Structure 1
Amino acid sequence: MRRLEGRVAIVTGAASGIGRATAAALAAEGAAVMATDIDVAGGEETHGLVRAAGGHAAFLAHDVTSEEQWIAVVTATVERFGGLDILVNNAGIATGMAVTDMPLEAWNRQLAVNLTGVFLGAKHAIPAIRKTGRGGAIINVSSVAGLEGAAGLAGYCAAKGGVRLFSKALAKECAAARDGIRVNSVHPGIIDTPIWSRIDEGGLGAEAFRASSGANRLSPDLIAAQGAPLGFAGQPEDIARGIVYLASDDSRYVTGSELVIDGGWTA
């Protein structure tokens, strides 16, 4: 069953990890997918993988903090595929350090990518989705860090918490407009994506975690074993399946909700 046949989607941060898996999953369900990312090489690779699997896709270089680029991406998507039905705001970054050590630029950059980028995507996608007259879905990727605090990740938590409540407010706006657009947030736990290689290089508070855990090398399974009852890390496809559900008519009565996919981390 191809649940998204005839639908058109934009997926940001599609060059790797959850974004790549989501682009592939939406395309496998029949959607035409505009994959976007600032990582052009990775984005082109995602495009090639989706096409090789028989999916309908295109790729655009895209900085989600730029309103001009959002306008261009939405316009190009509608021109290329004939409309827009689904927006997946997935692009995100994290900078791990204590608040007292964090440069203002690092704080602002996290808010710009993780939260302002979500706002801009919704602002410019909603009019395009409304024009189809068939409703649609906006899925904003937050995090378990948008549900609970994490030492050394205050900027990331603030931004992802903002995504959670922005999604709820926007869901009510769309419901009041009776435009058929549902808005939900997704909250991944520890997922095995390329971000962990950057942690091993010293990002995201790696040294503090090593000191507390006694580990010489970080891995998603090691982190998950300490905090997720299931005891192992998730895969990008685990998140992508949840996003497909929220994008499809299977979730026709779901809006303003948060889908937590975390192996029990927040339980």
Structure 2
Amino acid sequence: MKEFKEKVALITGAAHGFGRALSLEAAKRGMKLAIADIDDEALSKTKTDIKDLGADVISIPTDVTDEDEVDAMVKKTVAEYHEIDLLINSAGIAVPGGICELPTRDWEWILHADLMSQVWALKRVIPIMRKQKDHCDIINVASIAGLVASPSMPSYFASKFASVGLTEAVEYDMQVAKANISMHVFCPAFVQTDLYHTENHRPAKYTDKNDPYYSSEAFKEGQERAKQDIVTGMPIDKIPGIVFKALEENKFYILTHTGLNPIIVSRAENIPSGKGPELKTLAPFLSKTHNEEN
């Protein structure tokens, strides 16, 4: 996508983090916005800020872990604007905890929020885009955690690897169908987002306050690690420029931290030989690349 003015963008997770930053950038570029998030109060703030930029916008409070709500979100967008030119699936959560510690409901939550929300949106938006004359784009927000793994958060890595694989497979499908749609997968490393406040947005259906895990030291330590990783990350104001430049250049993989490229390459090179992960090769990258610019 090279021209943005008067095009329609549907962006999930728009109340905070990447979704909010990309919504504001889209507004600055003259796009019409449909923004969605589970946090209605913060979503209203994003809507006000978009209006102050002079852009058309509707806000749609949405719990993306509910397929019916995703369906309603898409229908409301089309009812208002009659088309969708850019879909950004930005809604997502992160829940730290090891494979033997994390409750099953948290696996369900993260897979619904980070993966199935994208599936449900794609199933509904792609047919709409295919009927349109102009070229359309879809960005699935994944993570560097969809390209390389590290300890302590298997649920997050599983969801993000799945998001990357989903996006790659759908891109092939679009090519087979000769659809005028470009897929993109955004794989940032540590950025100063709202991600460490995931617990503030937990739906009741994934809540069990009596589960001992949530009062355990493992849970508290995981929350603190997540906070430290995020608050020391790349400033979020760098992200819109990276993402929209990638859109203009039609890049499929959108990365933020070039210092991590060697570990991505190393993982790929190990696969044909059967060599598995080794912590010693990962350690140098865990402590020095949080703030490296693209």
Q: Shorter-chain TM-score: which interval?
A: 0.7 to 0.9
1:41 counterpart SS class: helix
Distance in 2 between the 1:75 and 1:83 partners? 10
> Could you tell me whether the CA contact under 8 Å between 1:139 and 1:246 is conserved in 2?
no
1:6 counterpart SS class: coil
Identity of matched residues, %:
24
Counterpart of 1:229? none
Distance in 2 between the 1:102 and 1:219 partners? 20
Residue 90 of structure 1, CA deviation: 0.5
Residue 25 of structure 1, CA deviation: 0.5
Q: 1:62 to 1:100 in 2, by over 3 A?
A: same
Distance in 1 between the 2:197 and 2:128 partners? 37
Counterpart of 1:175? 175
1:101 counterpart SS class: coil
Distance in 1 between the 2:117 and 2:195 partners? 19
Letter in 2 for 1:108: E
> Could you tell me whether the CA contact under 8 Å between 1:6 and 1:31 is conserved in 2?
yes
Counterpart of 2:210? none
Counterpart of 1:251? 249
Distance in 2 between the 1:218 and 1:206 partners? 12
Distance in 2 between the 1:98 and 1:110 partners? 14
Letter in 2 for 1:53: L
Letter in 2 for 1:207: E
* Aligned residue among 219, 228, 231 for 1:218: 228
Counterpart of 2:12? 12
Q: 1:33 to 1:69 in 2, by over 3 A?
A: same
Gaps of 5+ in 2: 200-213, 263-294
Gaps of 5+ in 1: 223-232
> Could you tell me whether the CA contact under 8 Å between 1:21 and 1:237 is conserved in 2?
yes
> Could you tell me whether the CA contact under 8 Å between 1:38 and 1:63 is conserved in 2?
yes
Counterpart of 1:79? 79
> Could you tell me whether the CA contact under 8 Å between 1:170 and 1:183 is conserved in 2?
yes
1:237 counterpart SS class: helix
Residue 178 of structure 1, CA deviation: 1.3
Mapping for residues 175-194 of structure 1, pairs under 5 Å? 175-194=175-194
Letter in 1 for 2:159: A
Distance in 1 between the 2:141 and 2:87 partners? 11
Counterpart of 1:30? 30
State the Cα deviation string for residues 149-190 of structure 1 (Å, max 9, x = none): 121110000000111111010011111111210001011111
Q: 1:103 to 1:208 in 2, by over 3 A?
A: closer
Mapping for residues 124-143 of structure 1, pairs under 5 Å? 124-143=124-143
Letter in 1 for 2:89: N
Distance in 1 between the 2:86 and 2:101 partners? 39
2:221 pairs with 1:207: yes
User: Quick check: which has more Rg, 1 or 2?
Assistant: 2
> Could you tell me whether the CA contact under 8 Å between 2:44 and 2:59 is conserved in 1?
yes
Distance in 1 between the 2:155 and 2:130 partners? 33
Letter in 2 for 1:4: F
Counterpart of 1:144? 144
State the Cα deviation string for residues 63-88 of structure 1 (Å, max 9, x = none): 11222222211111112123111100
Counterpart of 1:264? 259
Distance in 2 between the 1:198 and 1:166 partners? 23
Mapping for residues 96-111 of structure 1, pairs under 5 Å? 96-111=96-111
Distance in 2 between the 1:204 and 1:238 partners? 33
Residue 198 of structure 1, CA deviation: 6.4
> Could you tell me whether the CA contact under 8 Å between 2:142 and 2:163 is conserved in 1?
yes
Residue 132 of structure 1, CA deviation: 1.5
Residue 241 of structure 1, CA deviation: 2.3
